[in-house]
């Protein structure tokens, strides 16, 4: 990993330098050539003005010699290999004013030249960079001065040598930086890897130091969050097992004690009915706990099946409510229904009854005598709202985020609510989630608790009843 990272960084650095160097060389070459042509044009214009001043009516004798000398002086002072001039007559005749005319012959469109022309010529197989500058002479035609050079405008050999040295130095520096950074990054990855192995080995307390705010830092934060959640999940699982063990041990202890007493004949005949009732109640408690555990495990393992069908939800809930009236009357609790007619809904009636039954049982355990339990149903824009409200002591604000956790309520409020499996609200949340809804709890400061379920509208469209695993 470190080697790949190191060579990858070096390769990127070398490629960047090469591409940047070639691009810079091309840009510099164009810039230098453009600057040279501009300078040639300026010198050609100055030379043309000198020639114009000394140009005789007929370029012969001393006058011609004077023009030739001017061209030589310009070539010597400017360091040009080629300085040529000619007069282009009104009819296009070209009359050279100096010695030779190798560039004049290659000026594009010299007979009709009206402005500065930069062009490339060839002399003895060499490329010549040249500029032609025309100046009007009135009726005599046009004076054209051509300046050119075959010399390299940029000493590429020297430049290439320096570039190679710079590339070598940059390569060494990139290698040093890549080695340093790869060691640093590999160290951070190594610490992350070591922590991951500790977690895989069962040590959920392993954490990674967060170094920096880059991607590796974000990865360390995410790893620590994951490890923290796993540790919390293991703690909850341990607490869950302890609580389940307690809830199983209590009725088993009661049943075992009475069974032993019955076997030894220590129970009077008059107490047999009472003892039988106790044994039956404890057996029902065990049965509910086991059934709730099995149901919750099936839901969490995605082995849960919904069977939606058209249901008159309001009438269905009224029937569930009527089934609890005997218990509420015995407990001297008022049971109120505030159920709106929401029409026929496509849902699983058995699971709806199970959810509402769990909520009503939970509310009845908290509500004191002369208290009230209310079941409400109404439609809102987002969907259906189903609420069960009790007038019990309420829930502490710090416990609200944990109400739907397994056995949390049963453990936290055991003195207030000694009975129940402690899994009812966890099952409610899972069932509602499977049906595409959400569950929340509201506990105002003055007491009382409301469990609010948001369910999809699910208005029946006349389709046949079906079966689905997960909505």
Domains, the chain: 2-157 (3.30.450), 204-303 (1.10.287.130), 309-455 (3.30.565.10)
Distance separating alpha carbons of residues 131 and 115, to the nearest angstrom: 11
- This prediction's pTM: 0.48
CB 387 within 8 A of CB 450: yes
**DSSP states along 49-81:** HHHHHH--SS--HHHHHHHHHHHHHHHHHHT-S
Tokens of 248: 């199983």
Task: Give me the pLDDT at residue 4, please.
Answer: 64
Distance separating alpha carbons of residues 315 and 267, to the nearest angstrom: 48
CB 210 within 8 A of CB 220: yes
Q: What angle do CA 265, 271, 276 make, to 5 degrees?
A: 90
Task: Give me the pLDDT at residue 127, please.
Answer: 84
Task: Give me the pLDDT at residue 58, please.
Answer: 46
Distance separating alpha carbons of residues 67 and 192, to the nearest angstrom: 84
CB atoms within 10 A of CB 251: 19
CA contacts within 13 A on the Cβ side of 20: 10
CB 134 within 8 A of CB 143: yes
Task: Give me the pLDDT at residue 56, please.
Answer: 58
| pLDDT values of the chain reduced to their tens digit, one per residue, 471 residues | 556 656 666 677 677 777 777 777 677 767 777 787 788 888 888 888 877 777 654 444 566 777 778 888 888 877 788 888 888 888 888 888 877 678 888 888 888 888 888 888 888 888 888 888 888 887 778 888 888 887 665 565 666 777 778 777 877 877 777 777 767 766 777 788 888 888 888 888 888 888 777 777 888 888 888 888 888 877 767 766 666 665 677 678 888 888 888 888 888 888 888 888 888 877 877 777 777 677 767 766 666 678 889 999 999 999 999 988 888 888 899 999 999 999 999 998 988 988 998 899 888 888 889 999 999 999 998 899 999 999 988 888 888 887 887 666 656 655 555 555 567 788 888 888 888 899 999 988 888 899 999 999 876 544 444 444 444
Task: Identify the burial level of 165 via C-beta atoms within 10 angstroms of its C-beta, where 0-12 means exposed, 13-18 middle and 19 or more buried.
Answer: exposed
Distance separating alpha carbons of residues 239 and 376, to the nearest angstrom: 34
Distance separating alpha carbons of residues 197 and 312, to the nearest angstrom: 55
Distance separating alpha carbons of residues 155 and 28, to the nearest angstrom: 12
Question: CA nearest 232: which of 256, 259, 201, 204?
Answer: 204
Q: Which 8-state DSSP code applies to residue 340?
A: -
Complete edge-to-edge strand list for the sheet that includes strand 449-455 = 334-339, 372-379, 384-390, 449-455, 438-442
């Amino acid at each position: 990993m470190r080697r790949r990272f190191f060579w990858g960084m070096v390769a990127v650095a070398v490629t960047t330098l090469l591409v940047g160097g070639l691009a810079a060389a091309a840009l510099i070459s164009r810039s230098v050539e453009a600057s040279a042509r501009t300078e040639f044009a300026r010198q050609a214009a100055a030379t043309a003005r000198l020639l114009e001043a000394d140009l005789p009516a007929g370029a012969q004798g001393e006058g011609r010699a004077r023009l030739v000398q001017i061209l030589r002086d310009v070539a010597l002072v400017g360091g040009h290999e080629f300085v040529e001039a000619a007069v282009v007559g009104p009819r296009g005749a070209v009359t050279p004013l100096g010695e030779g005319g190798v560039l004049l012959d290659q000026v594009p469109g010299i007979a009709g030249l009206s402005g500065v022309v930069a062009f490339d010529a060839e002399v003895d197989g060499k490329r010549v960079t040249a500029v032609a500058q025309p100046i009007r002479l009135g009726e005599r035609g046009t004076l054209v001065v051509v300046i050119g050079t075959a010399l390299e405008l940029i000493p590429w050999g020297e430049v290439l040598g320096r570039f190679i040295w710079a590339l070598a130095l940059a390569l060494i520096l990139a290698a040093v930086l890549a080695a340093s950074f790869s060691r640093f990054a590999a160290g951070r990855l190594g610490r992350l890897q070591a922590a991951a192995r500790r977690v895989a080995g069962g040590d959920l307390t392993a954490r990674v130091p967060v170094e920096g705010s880059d991607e590796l830092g974000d990865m360390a934060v995410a790893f620590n969050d994951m490890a923290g959640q796993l540790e919390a999940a293991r703690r909850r699982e341990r607490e869950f097992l302890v609580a389940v063990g307690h809830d199983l041990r209590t009725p088993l202890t009661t049943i075992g004690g009475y069974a032993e007493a019955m076997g030894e004949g220590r129970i009077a005949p008059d107490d047999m009915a009472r003892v039988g009732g106790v044994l039956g109640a404890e057996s029902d408690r065990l049965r509910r706990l086991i059934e709730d555990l099995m149901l919750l495990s099936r839901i969490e393992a995605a082995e849960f099946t919904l069977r939606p069908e058209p249901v008159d939800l309001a009438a269905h809930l009224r029937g569930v409510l009527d089934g609890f009236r005997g218990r509420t009357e015995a407990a001297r609790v008022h049971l109120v229904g505030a159920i709106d007619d929401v029409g026929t809904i496509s849902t699983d009636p058995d699971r709806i009854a199970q959810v509402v039954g769990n909520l009503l049982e939970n509310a009845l355990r908290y509500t004191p005598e002369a208290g009230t339990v209310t079941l409400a149903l109404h439609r809102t824009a987002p969907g259906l709202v189903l609420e069960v409200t009790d007038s019990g002591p309420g829930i502490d604000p710090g416990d609200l985020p944990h109400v739907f956790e397994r056995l949390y309520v049963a453990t936290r409020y055991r003195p207030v609510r000694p009975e129940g499996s402690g899994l009812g609200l966890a099952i409610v949340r899972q069932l509602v989630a499977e049906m595409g809804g959400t569950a929340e709890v509201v506990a105002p400061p003055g007491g009382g608790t409301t469990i609010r379920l948001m369910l999809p509208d699910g208005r029946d469209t006349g389709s046949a009843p079906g079966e689905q695993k997960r909505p």
